[in-house]
Structures are given as C-alpha cells and as structure tokens.
Amino acid sequence: MEGTIVNVQKYSVHDGPGIRTTIFFKGCPLKCWWCHNPESISLKEEIMSCEDKCTNCGRCIKICREEAIKLKDGNPFVELEKCKSCGRCAEFCISDAKEHVGRKVHVDELIVQIKKDIPFYEESGGGVTFSGGEPLMQGEFLNEVLKRCKKIHINTTLDTCGYSDWEKIDKIHDKVDLFLYDLKIFDEKKHIKYTGVSNKLILENLKKLSSLGKNIYVRMPIIKGINDDREHVDNCVEFLSELNILQVNLLPYHKLGMNKYNKLAKEYKLTGEEKPSDSEMREIAEKFRTAGIKVKIGG
Ligand code: SF4
Ligand code: SF4
C-alpha cells in the first residue's frame, strides 16, 4: 500500500519522547492562517518556485509538457490548473529554483527507513511520529504503517488536528502510544474563520480519546490577536480541566513558514507580527497551572 508524504525527518527531538523519526504526511482538511507547513495542505504533489534562485534561463518553460509554465513579469510562473505535478521542471532546473513537494511511498519502504533508526529509539526512548498535514487524511495507509511499527515494538506518536470521522480514529488509537492533539480555537465561529472548518468534531474526538484513557498532550498554538485573549484561554482551561490529559504545550506563533506561501503562489493572511510576548505566554501558562494542568511553553 502507498501513501503520499512530504518528507521523513530523522533525529527529531520535538515531536514526542526521545529521538524520533517524523513522517510528514501530505494533505490536511484545515487551512490555518498561521500554518507553517503550507506545502502539506494539498494531498496533491506540488511545485514550489523560488524566485530568488531563478536565473530566468527558461529551461523549465521548454521542458514542461503541459505548457503550464508561462512568463509573468519576466519570471517563470506555474499555472496550477494546468500543472500535473510530474516534477520535470524541478528535475531539470539546475538552480534549484523549483522544488517538487510530495512523493508516493510504499509502506515497506517506510518501514525499512524506520528500522534503520531503531538503535536511536532504544538509546533515547524515542520512536516514530506521524505528522503533516493530517495523517488521518490517509487513514488506511496510516493504519498499515502503525500496524507494522507495533509488530516490531516501535513507540508511536500521532500529531493530529483531530478533524476526522471517529471511525478512522477508532481503527488506529490502540496502536498509538501518544497523541499530540491540536486545540487551536475554542469558539466555533472563529475556528471556522481561521481554519476553514468547525471545531465540533475536534472537541468531540478529544473527549472520546480522553475517556478511553489515551496518553494525550494537547498542543495549543498561541497567536496574538486571534486566540491569546482572556476569554479564549479561560474557555480552554475549563474544557481541558474536565479531561484526562497528560500535558498542555503552548506554542507561540512564529513566522518561519511565511515565505513558503509565495513559493506556492498562496496568500499569507497574517502580518508576521503575531508572536505573543514571553510575559503573555507565562501568564497564559499560569492559568493552566492554577487549574492543576501540567503545562509547558514550547513543543
Ligand atoms: S529552469 Fe529554474 S532557473 Fe531556469 S527559468 Fe526555470 S526556474 Fe528559473
Ligand atoms: S511539475 Fe510538470 S506539469 Fe507541473 S509545471 Fe513542472 S513540468 Fe510542468
């Protein structure tokens, strides 16, 4: 069985316990304004264009069989509706100005890569983390890789936005040792505005996982002017204090993914100035601590 991934990151230390191999799946049902991995949102393979590296040699225009690359303001521009994501332009660009994002991978190939890092997992108490994008978008593939990991006793972590039919989660939760579960915005209308979907399913699924006694770290991105207000924080503290979770991780907004939007011809809707101050982060953390919830600033 095959799935589509963006990449496999080795020796990761922020995606669960110990040293981990993190597999970034392609495809996500949400479109968060602050997403720093916009290349993982579409399930389709894509081309990222870096104007700074382009020498305007014109090779990509000639090489594209779909005639999907045209000159726009003197620069080669990919017309997404015509592009078939074949990757030829990236392959033939000698300036690395085009990058082919996403590739199909077979479960067997992933397991071979994962097995190579077993000594690191054993040494550090690490394992494999499934991230993205949203791994549950490719539920069957995820289930298959998880099954194979558990067969060889590898620790597994699932980084998820929680927006999925319960049936998919129900199929895999017994093979996941730790959930990194995103809680982005508590108010439903605001959630729809900033992520494109309702949060009802996300909150329900979190409650269900909690009632099953699963190991859960809740991850909350904190974005100034969007979800750092008192009312939002209080609502989250109240909701989470009723659940059975191990820890909350507060993740201050950063603008590291901002320039990828340009490369993908996508609009970045924030200003890049939405990072909360250290003192704001400490104040928010204190609210969780006061409610008896273990909290950490950062991943
Ligand atoms: S092949 Fe690369 S360097 Fe040449 S025009 Fe295309 S993107 Fe630019
Ligand atoms: S990926 Fe293929 S179809 Fe798309 S622009 Fe490049 S060469 Fe053309």
Asked whether the domain spanning 46-100 has the same topology as the one spanning 2-42+103-297, the reply is no
Distance of CA 90 from the midpoint of ligand 1 (Å): 9
Tell the residue nearest (CA) to atom 4 of ligand 2. Answer: 83
d(CA 205, CA 188): 15
Tell the residue nearest (CA) to atom 3 of ligand 1. Answer: 54
pLDDT category at 299 given cuts 50, 70, 90 is confident
Report pLDDT for 175: 98
Tell me the per-residue pLDDT of 141-200, one tens digit each, with 9 for 90 and over. Answer: 999 999 999 999 999 999 999 999 999 999 999 999 999 999 999 999 999 999 999 999
Residue 56 CB less than 6 A away from ligand 1: yes
Tell the residue nearest (CA) to atom 2 of ligand 1. Answer: 93
Three-state secondary structure call for residue 40: helix
Q: Inform me whether the pLDDT recorded for 210 exceeds 90.
A: yes
Distance of CA 6 from the midpoint of ligand 1 (Å): 22
Q: What is the mean pLDDT of the chain?
A: 96
**Domain 2-42+103-297 is of which CATH architecture?**
Alpha-Beta Barrel (3.20)
d(CA 177, CA 235): 28
Report pLDDT for 216: 98
Distance of CA 47 from the midpoint of ligand 1 (Å): 12
Domains in the chain: boundaries: 2-42+103-297, 46-100
- Higher-pLDDT residue of 237 and 74 is 237
User: Between the CA of residue 159 and those of 11, 22, 269, what are the distances in Å?
Assistant: 16, 10, 24
Q: Which residue has the tokens 């499934």?
A: 130
Tell me the per-residue pLDDT of 31-77, one tens digit each, with 9 for 90 and over. Answer: 999 999 999 999 999 999 999 999 999 999 999 999 999 998 888 99
Atom of ligand 2 nearest to the CA of 67: 8
The CATH number assigned to the domain with range 46-100 reads 3.30.70.20
Q: Inform me whether the pLDDT recorded for 118 exceeds 90.
A: yes
b/e map 40-78, b = 16+ CB within 10 Å: bbbbebbbbbbeeebeeeebbbeebeeebbeeeeeebbb
d(CA 129, CA 149): 11
pLDDT category at 289 given cuts 50, 70, 90 is very high
242: left (phi over 0), alpha (psi -120 to 50) or beta: alpha
Residue 285 CB less than 6 A away from ligand 2: no
d(CA 46, CA 6): 10
Helical H segments across 173-257, by residue range: 188-195, 200-211, 230-241
- β-bridge pairing 2-12 and 69-72: unpaired
Atom of ligand 1 nearest to the CA of 59: 1
Note the maximum CA span of the chain.
63
Report pLDDT for 84: 93
Cα distance from N-terminal residue to C-terminal residue, the chain: 32
Residue 89 CB less than 6 A away from ligand 2: yes
Residue 201 CB less than 6 A away from ligand 2: no
Atom of ligand 1 nearest to the CA of 56: 5
